Amino acid sequence: MKLMQTEIAKTITTAIESAQEIGALPHFKPPEIVVERPKEPSHGDYAVPSALQMARLARMAPLQIAERIVNFLEETAPFSQVEVAPPGFINFRLSESWLMQQVDNVLQRGPAYGAFPPKKGGPKKIQIEFLSANPTGPFVVGSGRNAVLGDTLARLFQANGYEVQREYYINDIGTQIDHLATSLQIRYAQALGQDMADPKEYAGQYLVEIGEALAEEYGDRFLYDDNTDFMRHEALSRILNAIREDTKLIGIRFDRWFSESSLYTDHTYEVVYNKLEHQRLLFERDGAIWLKGEDNEDKENVVVRSDGRPTYFASDIAYVWDKLVKRNFDQAVYIWGADHHGHVKRLKNAAESLNINPDKIMIILYQLVSITRNGEPVRQSKRSGDYITVREVVDEIGSDAFRFMLLTRSADSAMEIDLELAKRESSENPVYYVQYAHARIASIFRRAKEDGATMGGGDVNLLEHPSEIELIRQILRFPEVVKFATVNLAPHQLTYYAQELAAAFHAFYRDCHVVIEDDELTAARLKLVKAAQITLANNLHLMGMSVPDQM
């Protein structure tokens, strides 16, 4: 499948070279050809602003450059009109006859429509690590955004021919895990009737329940001795099992659960430390070991604390080595909360110190999520009294609404989920609006079956109504959206597109009856409806959502 933007860019490049060969344009190296979607439909389907960028290079007015480029464009079937518009845009309008023919192409591609086959040389290996955190508590809504972003990105990369691994990085060592073990020891003792003050760290209801479960299973067997290791193991395993179950609830699976502690037991950390030391990139100060960087006063650059314990940064350095060198991934995607923004440059600098191309590291920073009900903040969980878990929200609004709502804003924008809106069965609810379009299509095919109508012999050249043409235009945008969302790490584009496609279909449904007395037009419209159904379904699958036939 070829993207229209790519084809237009090639056509423009060829025209510039042809113009330069005969002196219509001076010789210069053209900048990258940008092909945009105009905001105003009256400007056509695509716009190329490159002449504006070339004005300084060519020492000519942008409008004059654009006109000369157009003079050397080869005639191509998809376009009914190519025109120059001030101050130097080249606008392309797709011909309606070409648009009609694409319906059959979409039908032929079916479930593969919108996906791109691997490039020559095989698919790139990419690892997407997401949701990773200290496994010290339940799967809460804020982390839900991390999970949905990561899983949707994985689906997008797979659609673009990548070999993808989803990974959860388990921070199973360090101070926070020690605090978790101590807190569980207290909850266990309390469950056995011991009079102890509540833990200062990790005082949530979930540890009360784990403590009660341990008391029931083991009695006072682990009460009197130092059983920190046992408590650490039990807390981690039970919390991780709960996270596994809750991620399944929203359709997320991981290919690998990677333990931070394994970086030390398999000597990866030792190898990396020795490599940095050999390159004289480590230095000692105040009893600690630091990694040289742009700011040698930044305490976050400490690799080994003064008491000899490696820092989180040390683990991160070893982990990026494990990903991009030991396991030989071509790219590594990290999804972090916005509060980690200062760590982005630090990690890339560390990678560069290990002779790893920092461009292989892609990091998404996401903002907070708030929960509202009819616009009013929901600050507390009904069950725990503090945090709000993913399970609680999904039990109320469903997995599809949860995933869709968490994708409706770019990662760098704060967002909210309105629980009442997410349940509303009306066009105000974007999830319902999109899925209802698919269910409506299914009802059309049920009606067609009852009437004995089929797509057989349907002539797509009959699809001349403006609402039919607009629906085709929207369907043909899908591959572009998939590509853009993947390259720009912007899965929220899928929700924007889903709503626009649903709107185009609902308008078509309003304006054009499908199953009518005219058998030929019925067959043609059934083809169009099927193309819309394929596109909607493929988009919903990329978002990890169900594709309902009835609502």
CA 21 to chain centre: 44
The answer to whether 139 touches 241, Cβ cutoff 8 Å, is: no
pLDDT reported for residue 342: 87
**Helix/strand/coil percentages in the chain, nearest 5:** 55, 15, 35
Q: What DSSP string runs through 295-346?
A: -TT-GGGEEE-TTSPBPHHHHHHHHHHIIIIIS--SEEEEEEEGGGHHHHHH
User: Does the bond joining 30 to the residue before it have cis omega, within 30 degrees of 0?
Assistant: no
CATH code, 4-94: 3.30.1360.70
295 to 272, 278, 300, 346, 351: CA distances (angstroms): 21, 21, 10, 10, 16
Tokens 């030989």 belong to which residue? Answer: 328
Euclidean distance between CA atoms 10 and 18, whole angstroms: 12
Token pair listed for 22? 């005969």
pLDDT tens track of the chain, all 551 residues?
A: 578 999 999 999 999 999 999 999 999 999 999 999 998 888 999 999 999 999 999 999 999 999 999 999 987 779 999 999 999 999 999 999 999 999 999 999 999 999 987 677 666 899 999 998 778 999 999 899 999 999 999 999 999 889 999 999 999 998 899 999 999 999 999 999 999 999 988 888 899 999 999 999 999 999 988 899 999 999 999 999 999 999 999 999 999 999 999 999 999 999 999 999 999 999 999 999 999 877 666 677 899 999 999 999 999 999 999 999 999 999 999 999 999 898 999 999 999 999 999 999 999 999 989 999 888 888 755 444 467 899 999 999 999 999 999 999 999 999 999 999 999 988 899 999 999 999 999 999 999 999 999 999 899 999 999 999 999 999 999 999 999 999 999 999 999 999 999 999 999 999 999 999 999 999 999 999 999 999 999 999 999 999 999 98
Euclidean distance between CA atoms 531 and 463, whole angstroms: 13
Token pair listed for 117? 């086959």
406 to 274, 375, 489: CA distances (angstroms): 43, 16, 15
CB half-sphere exposure, 142, CA atoms < 13 A: 16
pLDDT reported for residue 1: 56
155 to 164, 349, 478, 505, 537: CA distances (angstroms): 9, 29, 15, 25, 14
Token pair listed for 398? 């469903």
The answer to whether 86 touches 43, Cβ cutoff 8 Å, is: no
Total residue length of the chain: 551
- Angular region, 118: left φ>0, alpha ψ -120 to 50, beta rest: beta
Token pair listed for 325? 């060198």
Euclidean distance between CA atoms 508 and 470, whole angstroms: 8
pLDDT reported for residue 382: 47
CB half-sphere exposure, 132, CA atoms < 13 A: 23
Amino acid at 444: I
Q: What DSSP string runs through 64-95?
A: HHHHHHHHTPPP-TTEEEEEEETTTEEEEEE-
Domain boundaries, the chain: 4-94, 99-120+430-542, 175-249, 260-321+340-365
Please tell me whether residue 258 adopts helix, strand or coil conformation. strand
Residues near 92 by Cβ (< 8 Å), separated by ≥ 6? 8, 44, 45, 46, 47, 48, 79, 81, 82
Euclidean distance between CA atoms 148 and 312, whole angstroms: 25
Token pair listed for 487? 């390259």
Question: C-alpha angle 171/340/138, rounded to 5°?
Answer: 45
Q: pTM of this prediction?
A: 0.92
Token pair listed for 410? 């770019």
The answer to whether 301 touches 353, Cβ cutoff 8 Å, is: no
Q: Is the dihedral of CA 349, 351, 352, 353 positive or negative?
A: positive
Please tell me whether residue 148 adopts helix, strand or coil conformation. helix
Pairing of strands 369-373, 415-418: parallel
CATH code, 99-120+430-542: 1.10.730.10
pLDDT reported for residue 74: 83
